[in-house]
Amino acid sequence: MTAKEYLQQASQINIKLKAMAEQLEFLKSAAVYVSPRYSNMPKTATPNIRKNEDAIIRVIEFTEKMQEQYEKLSEINRIINGVSNSTAQSILVKRYIQNNSWGEIARGLYISESRVYQLHREALAEIEKTVVNCS
């Protein structure tokens, strides 16, 4: 895996985490939902008496999956923070974590786009050594 591919995971993780947060809210609401009883008509012969427990377990398991994604994102951030040039760190964060365009990055850092590209290449080369050693 190249350094660029490694960093591009951050964008996908962010998208996944947003979707997972929405799903988690749904699971939480399902876990606390108590259906009203409208009649004295008999229910199924084998009702799920552990319905709420099962829902809570799903919430916990889903939360653990989200935590794994946060840990991956944290690792990517740690790698970015290991880059020696602070401007290059900012470029990587803005590009791979915040999904900014090259022009937005250049304007935000008050440098030319060509300088952004140059610092980006240097940072990727530095990360390449780290990612290869981690793989």
Largest CA distance in the chain: 74
Residue 11: closest CA among 67, 69, 87, 82: 69
Q: d(Cα 116, Cα 113) in Å, to the nearest integer?
A: 5
* Binned average pLDDT, 10 residues per bin, the chain of 135 residues: 90 89 81 59 58 78 89 94 96 94 97 97 92 60
Q: CB atoms < 10 A from the CB of 96, how many?
A: 20
What are the backbone angles phi and psi of residue 109, rounded to the nearest 5°? -100, 0
Q: What is the pLDDT of residue 1?
A: 81
pTM comes to: 0.72
> The tokens 């944290």 sit on which residue?
74
Q: What is the pLDDT of residue 24?
A: 84
Q: What is the pLDDT of residue 42?
A: 60
